Amino acid sequence: MKKSVVALSLAALVALAGCSTPVPSSPGGNPPQPPASGPAAPAAQGGDVLAAVGLAGLSGKQIVDQLDQDPAARPLPLKASVRYDHVVIGDGTREARVPIDGDEFYLSIAPYATQTHECFHHSLATCRGEMVSSDVHVRIVDSTGAVLVDEDATTYANGFVGFWLPRDITGEVTVTTAGQTGTVPFATGPQDATCLTTLRVS
């Protein structure tokens, strides 16, 4: 019985976080859609939840950077979901929203070659991409052609690499790794995904 309760609790966290089971994928699929709204977690004081998961005193941006770059294997023992202007943090029974100040939007990118997963709101605790600790070159341009990012990077232990971009823009992301390249569009509006898992390199 105890194992069943633990399994159900973990499944609930994964479902709330925004990532699904990795599946084989091909380019040209349908764009991700926002997840349907589920029942809200009980209200709680933000400081209580953040203290419970070891994130007290951190800003929204600091939480995102720290958790996405956490070298520990996934899943992490908390809920953490990146939205347009805030990050949702939960301890399994309660959750709190921490604002992301300023005018930046966090886009976390998981390039892949053979398999990916559907994702909309990037889960800092459960999402896993195919290319873990891989050297990549990332180029991000907006719809006017302005270059926002053009740099070498290494994907994190979760297979993602993240960038802070201006809110309310559109553009393209290109990733090159081991002689393979892929390009996909992105957008950073209130209804847009913070989790980009459709970029296939070939």
201 within a domain of the structure (yes/no): no
DSSP state of 65: H
**How confident is the prediction for the chain on average, in pLDDT?**
86
61 within a domain of the structure (yes/no): yes
- Token output for 111: 């390039």
Is residue 159 within 8 Å of 131, Cβ to Cβ?
Answer: yes
- 8 or 81: which carries more pLDDT confidence? 81
37 within a domain of the structure (yes/no): no
Q: Using CA atoms, how far apart are residues 103 and 113, in angstroms rounded to an integer?
A: 32
Share of the chain above pLDDT 90, in %: 76
Share of the chain above pLDDT 70, in %: 78
Residue from 83, 91, 80, 150 nearest 120 by CA? 83
152 within a domain of the structure (yes/no): yes
Average pLDDT over residues 183-198: 98
99 within a domain of the structure (yes/no): yes
Q: Using CA atoms, how far apart are residues 192 and 194, in angstroms rounded to an integer?
A: 7
pLDDT digits (tens, 9 = 90+) for 19-37: 754 544 444 444 566 665 4
Strand-strand pairing, 115-116 and 104-109: unpaired
Domain CATH number, residue 141: 2.60.40.3700
Average pLDDT over residues 85-108: 96
Q: What is the pLDDT of residue 19?
A: 73
**Enclosing domain of residue 167:** 2-17+43-196
38 within a domain of the structure (yes/no): no
Please, which residues have CB within 8 angstroms of residue 142's CB and are 6 or more apart in sequence?
Answer: 148, 166, 169, 170, 171
Query: What ranges in the chain are assigned the alpha helix state H?
Result: 2-17, 46-52, 60-68
Q: Using CA atoms, how far apart are residues 24 and 62, in angstroms rounded to an integer?
A: 33
Average pLDDT over residues 50-79: 97
Q: Using CA atoms, how far apart are residues 202 and 18, in angstroms rounded to an integer?
A: 26
pLDDT digits (tens, 9 = 90+) for 151-188: 999 999 999 999 999 999 999 999 999 999 999 999 99
- Token output for 129: 């991409």
pLDDT digits (tens, 9 = 90+) for 107-147: 999 999 999 999 999 999 999 999 999 999 999 999 999 99
- What's the whole-model pTM score? 0.83
189 within a domain of the structure (yes/no): yes
Is residue 84 within 8 Å of 71, Cβ to Cβ?
Answer: no
Q: Using CA atoms, how far apart are residues 163 and 141, in angstroms rounded to an integer?
A: 12
As for how many domains the chain has, the answer is: 1
Is residue 131 within 8 Å of 110, Cβ to Cβ?
Answer: yes
Q: Using CA atoms, how far apart are residues 14 and 104, in angstroms rounded to an integer?
A: 26
Residue from 95, 34, 101, 30 nearest 64 by CA? 101
140 within a domain of the structure (yes/no): yes
